[in-house]
Chain A
Amino acid sequence: MSVFEGLRFRKVYSPIHSLDPRIKFIYVIVIFVIAIIFWQVIPLLILFFMQLPFVLLARVQKQWLRSLRGAAFLATFIFLLNILATYISSGFVLLAFDFERAFALTLRFVVLVESFSVFFLTTSPDHLGLALEETRVPYEFAFAFTTAVRFVPVLAEEAQTIMDAQKARGLELEKGSLLKRIRNYVPVLIPLIVSAIRRSLELAEAMESRAWGATKKRTNLYSLRLHRGDFALIAIIIGIIIVAAYVYIYFFASIPAITQFLQL
């Protein structure tokens, strides 16, 4: 469940928290796209370390590390799978470069996780909803989206309680063959789904009793406006795009591999 911990917003005041969520989202998307375009270790490492100032400025190091730890299992899996795939497809030969490529692909995944983690750790669901509304997404959809985001940690907590309750009735999740293990999760999934549905019905009733949707034209107490920090971030984003595009057009083929440095 630690992956969810890494996505959970906590109210802290920092320059990163007060940035406009729309700009932050564009930043994440830009990082995302660049990480997909480049497959070499060096640019991905640069992308990885580029997030650190944001994490430190936002003072979310602990939660951020936790989300990375949560992603460690999947990252290891990606690494091993890549090694295995190249090993088989290359006729059972492994070069040092193959390791580097598997590492790069793993790093790409880590970069995606870390940037999204920074985004969700520093953006409150309210802010997110506001951002959606101001980009002309109908309020109903924006609301549904923010509610979904907000309920992810709640659901994760609930899943933990349900697992405890079933373990207390003698359920052993890690026992048996693979198929049996999957089936072991039925007693966890059903209560989770049922209570999510029940919760949503209750939420709907509670909202309706508080006159949700009574006025067609809603106004907001807060509105999003770009501040100095946002313009700074926009400048950074543009800088990143220019550098990335430049490198991509002129040097893409000649980005050195780490193994070349080490003369392997």
Chain B
Amino acid sequence: MVITAEDVHFSYPNNVEALKGVSLQIKDGEFVAIMGQNGAGKSTLVKHFNGLLKPSQGSVRVDGVETSKTSVAALARNVGFVFQNPDHQLFSETVEDEIAFALKNFGFEQEVIEKRITWALNLLSLTQYRKTSPFLLSGGERKRVALASVLAWDPQMLILDEPTIGQDHEQKEKLRQFIVQMQTQKKTVVTVTHDVEFVAECNPRVVLMKEGKIVADGPGKIILTNQQLLTESSIVLPQIAQIFTKLTSLGLPKDIIDIYEAKQAILQTKESKRR
């Protein structure tokens, strides 16, 4: 699943120009976090990936197919999109029906649907709610139902809009593991998020947006330790990076965002000091 955006411009009907020439390529099996302050155009950009929005200028191609010439339904089969607010999609009487909705739309067989439901419920620890109404669940659980309802059809690419909001640490960790698992299956994950700590833990490719343009694109380790760049986008450095940028005088490296790496770096510096 390769996505190529070339010089994409997009204006909303109220003449707000949300994208001002965005070029980006996302390859198979990549994990990309799109970051930036509110109104930077993150959500607008990802809505181009499954054809919900069509560029007013420039082009977006999914596996070589121009999105402006395809329907959302056709693209959605391969590009799953989980919206930020689960309440914008839940409508069924039971969690089970909710997950079956998309599967029915895509014309899966009844037996396959049953299997996929069981699989998706299990994956997001929702099995006990199979026959419950989604409206009776808590906010975090509803969010997981929405995620399950998309994962169930096993798309090649997954777009997650703010997936960590309202999730406790355990669920975030599960989400992270799940993303890693998707990557090993050569699947692409794109997430729009403000959760710096979550991004730091996953260490994906980070695309930083500002005022409808991409201002930085590269490994999380490099972008999330660039103080000036992040300040301009109203993003705070991950806590570990904050500590390490303040400790460079001790001979510690600057570009650390991961706990494991942090530990290694500290031990190494300690070793070299002793010698």
Interface residues of chain A, those whose CB is within 8 Å of chain B, are 2, 5, 66, 158, 161-162, 164-172, 186-187, 190-191, 194-195, 198
Contacts and interface: CB of A to CB of B under 8 A. Distances in A.
B14 A165 contact: no
B91 interface: yes
Given A167-B52, A169-B89, 8 more contacts: A164-B83, A167-B72, A169-B76, A170-B76, A191-B88, A195-B87, A195-B88, A198-B87
A122 to B, nearest CB: 18
Nearest to A1: B13
B1 interface: no
Interface in B131-156: 135, 149-150, 153
A169 B149 contact: yes
Considering residues A66, A171, A186, which has the most beta carbons from chain B within 10 angstroms of its beta carbon? Answer: A171
B91 A158 contact: no
Nearest to B14: A5
- 10 nearest CB pairs, A to B: A170-B105, A190-B91, A169-B102, A168-B81, A165-B89, A165-B83, A167-B72, A165-B88, A195-B87, A162-B88
Contacts of B71: 172
17 contacts: A5-B13, A158-B88, A167-B73, A168-B50, A168-B72, A168-B83, A169-B102, A170-B73, A172-B71, A172-B73, A187-B101, A190-B91, A191-B87, A191-B89, A191-B91, A195-B88, A198-B87
A164 B149 CA distance: 15
A66 B153 CA distance: 40
A172 B102 CA distance: 11
A169 B150 contact: yes
Contacts of B73: 167, 170-172
Considering residues A66, A186, A190, which has the most beta carbons from chain B within 10 angstroms of its beta carbon? Answer: A190
B101 A169 contact: yes
A170 B83 contact: no
Contacts of A161: 83, 85, 88
B174 interface: no
B20 interface: no
A164 B73 CA distance: 11
Contacts of B105: 169-172
Contacts of A172: 71, 73, 105
B206 interface: no
Contact of A170 (B77, B87, B90): B77
Considering residues A5, A162, A164, A169, which has the most beta carbons from chain B within 10 angstroms of its beta carbon? Answer: A169
A2 B13 contact: yes
Interface string B86-121: 011111000000000110011000000000000000
B270 interface: no
A199 to B, nearest CB: 9
B269 to A, nearest CB: 48
Nearest to B99: A169
A165 B81 CA distance: 8
A82 B106 CA distance: 42
Contacts of B81: 165, 168
Considering residues B77, B87, B88, B106, which has the most beta carbons from chain A within 10 angstroms of its beta carbon? Answer: B88
Nearest to A164: B52
Nearest to A193: B91
Given A164-B47, A169-B150, A194 B76 contact: no
Contacts of B50: 168
Contacts of A186: 91
Nearest to B150: A169
Contact of B89 (A2, A166, A198): A166
Nearest to B107: A170
A187 B91 contact: yes
A162 B87 CA distance: 9
A109 to B, nearest CB: 23
A162 B86 CA distance: 10
A162 B135 contact: no
A9 to B, nearest CB: 13
Contacts of B101: 169, 171, 187
Nearest to A189: B91
Contacts of B153: 170
Contacts of B88: 158, 161-162, 165, 191, 195
A186 B85 CA distance: 18
Nearest to B82: A168
Nearest to A168: B81
Nearest to B106: A170
Contacts of B150: 168-169
A64 B118 CA distance: 52
B157 to A, nearest CB: 12
